[in-house]
Amino acid sequence: MPTRSANSAPCGGGGRLARRRATEPMTTSTRADELTHAAIASFNNCPDPRLKDILQSLVRHLHAFASDVQLTQDEWAQAIAILTKTGAITDDKRSEFILWSDALGLSGLVDSLANPLPAGATEATVLGPFWTPNAPKRDYAGSMIERPLGTPALVHGVIRDLRGGPIAGAELDVWQNDANGLYAVQESAPDQDHLRGRFSSRADGSYAFVGVRPIPYAIPDDGPVGDMLAATGRHPWRPAHIHMIVSAPGYHRLQTHIFDSASRYLDSDAVFAVKRSLLRDFVVRDPDDPARPTSIERAEWYSVENDILLAPIATGCA
Ligand SMILES: [Fe+2]
């Protein structure tokens, strides 16, 4: 089919179309490949080269996807409705968009692309939807438990560089769920600092905090992502884990988890975040164990050791 020029619009359409500059991309083609070409070319004059790359690649892959599955108009309309619903259910405490990204494996992929860490560095994984800023600063071995529910767990270790040297003054931003499966931000209780905290490593790189032994939980499945999981026979469960973001000047910021090595769902995490190197053993401890922190009452408790190795930021002056 010959490409129709802007000045040859049929049926008296020479008004608006005829006034278009000859260099404008053609958008009236009914041929799929010409339409795709025109959509890609529409970004040719984008002044930002990165934005141009992203949008042209997006159009290329989006059109290829639609052609690959022979997307119908009804299915396209369903997709628009799903995106609309995703926006409607998203607020400052719940991001259904992040949940989509997690459940489709995109978050893990972006994380891997962004964090090509050297061998030996602690691996990163997804952020998840429940991090909130400004967690309270707490002391070494301090407790994050604001209301007793789960079984206490002492998490401790040393933050080191890749040569084994201690990193003092690193910050750990920690958040986790409780024995009811919920993060503080999911509850209406006033103590929103429950099981959240920021801790600093000491001069010898050591850190410690008291949380609870986490349990597996289902990602929010009362929205569009849950509908997708149900429609495709997938479960919404995540294995038990504790989140942390570790940062120190001169080192790559690390966003990671500790996974309970005894948890269910390690092989079928709903958000594809498990990395074997992040599995840790929660060891049951006796109530009379002299290592029991004062913030843990005399009852059964756990401890878990978790050293963290941070990758240095390259200086480029080697
Ligand atoms: Fe989580």
In this prediction, residues 92-99 reach a mean pLDDT of 86
Contact 302, 153 (CB under 8 A): yes
- Check whether residue 63 and residue 163 sit in a common domain: no
- Check whether residue 43 and residue 163 sit in a common domain: no
Full-model pTM: 0.80
- Check whether residue 13 and residue 105 sit in a common domain: no
> What confidence category does residue 188 fall into, taking pLDDT thresholds of 50, 70 and 90?
confident
| 89 belongs to a structural domain | no
- Check whether residue 163 and residue 263 sit in a common domain: yes
Contact 5, 22 (CB under 8 A): yes
> What confidence category does residue 4 fall into, taking pLDDT thresholds of 50, 70 and 90?
very low
Per-residue H/E/C for 192-261 = CCCCEEEEECCCCCEEEEEEECCCCEECCCCCHHHHHHHHHCCCCEECCEEEEEEECCCECCEEEEEEEC
- Rounded distance from Cα 314 to ligand 1 centre (Å): 30
- Check whether residue 59 and residue 182 sit in a common domain: no
Query: How confident is the model over 207-248, as pLDDT tens digits?
Result: 999 999 999 999 989 999 999 999 999 999 999 999 999 999
Residues bordering ligand 1, an ion, CB closer than 5 Å:
128
Which of 46, 68, 90 terminates a domain? The answer is 68
- Check whether residue 258 and residue 118 sit in a common domain: yes
- How many domains are contained in the chain? 2
Contact 155, 258 (CB under 8 A): yes
Query: How confident is the model over 98-157, as pLDDT tens digits?
Result: 999 999 999 989 988 887 788 899 999 988 878 889 999 999 999 999 988 999 999 999
- Check whether residue 51 and residue 126 sit in a common domain: no
> What confidence category does residue 6 fall into, taking pLDDT thresholds of 50, 70 and 90?
very low
- Check whether residue 184 and residue 274 sit in a common domain: yes
Query: How confident is the model over 239-293, as pLDDT tens digits?
Result: 999 999 999 999 999 999 999 999 999 999 999 999 999 999 999 999 999 999 9
- Rounded distance from Cα 241 to ligand 1 centre (Å): 6
User: From CA 259, how far away is CA 262, in angstroms rounded?
Assistant: 9
- Check whether residue 186 and residue 266 sit in a common domain: yes
**What pLDDT does 281 receive?**
98
- Rounded distance from Cα 119 to ligand 1 centre (Å): 25
Task: Pull the structure tokens for residue 287.
Answer: 């109530």
> What confidence category does residue 11 fall into, taking pLDDT thresholds of 50, 70 and 90?
very low
Question: Which residues on adjacent β-strands are paired with residue 91?
Answer: 94
Question: What domain range includes position 177?
Answer: 101-309
**What pLDDT does 218 receive?**
93
| 52 belongs to a structural domain | yes
| 292 belongs to a structural domain | yes
- Check whether residue 193 and residue 110 sit in a common domain: yes
- Rounded distance from Cα 73 to ligand 1 centre (Å): 36
In this prediction, residues 147-174 reach a mean pLDDT of 96
Asked if residue 317 has pLDDT above 60, the reply is no
Contact 144, 174 (CB under 8 A): yes
Q: What is the CATH number of the domain that holds 290?
A: 2.60.130.10
**What pLDDT does 94 receive?**
82
Query: How confident is the model over 12-31, as pLDDT tens digits?
Result: 333 343 344 445 555 454 68
Task: Pull the structure tokens for residue 25.
Answer: 């991309």
Q: Nearest 5°: phi and psi at 212? A: -130, 165
Asked if residue 185 has pLDDT above 50, the reply is yes
Query: How confident is the model over 46-89, as pLDDT tens digits?
Result: 999 999 999 999 999 999 999 999 999 999 999 999 999 999 99
- Rounded distance from Cα 284 to ligand 1 centre (Å): 22
Task: Pull the structure tokens for residue 88.
Answer: 């409607």
- Rounded distance from Cα 239 to ligand 1 centre (Å): 9
Which of 48, 68, 88 terminates a domain? The answer is 68
Asked if residue 315 has pLDDT above 90, the reply is no
Range in 2-6, 94-98, 197-201, 249-253 with the lowest mean pLDDT: 2-6
- Rounded distance from Cα 292 to ligand 1 centre (Å): 26
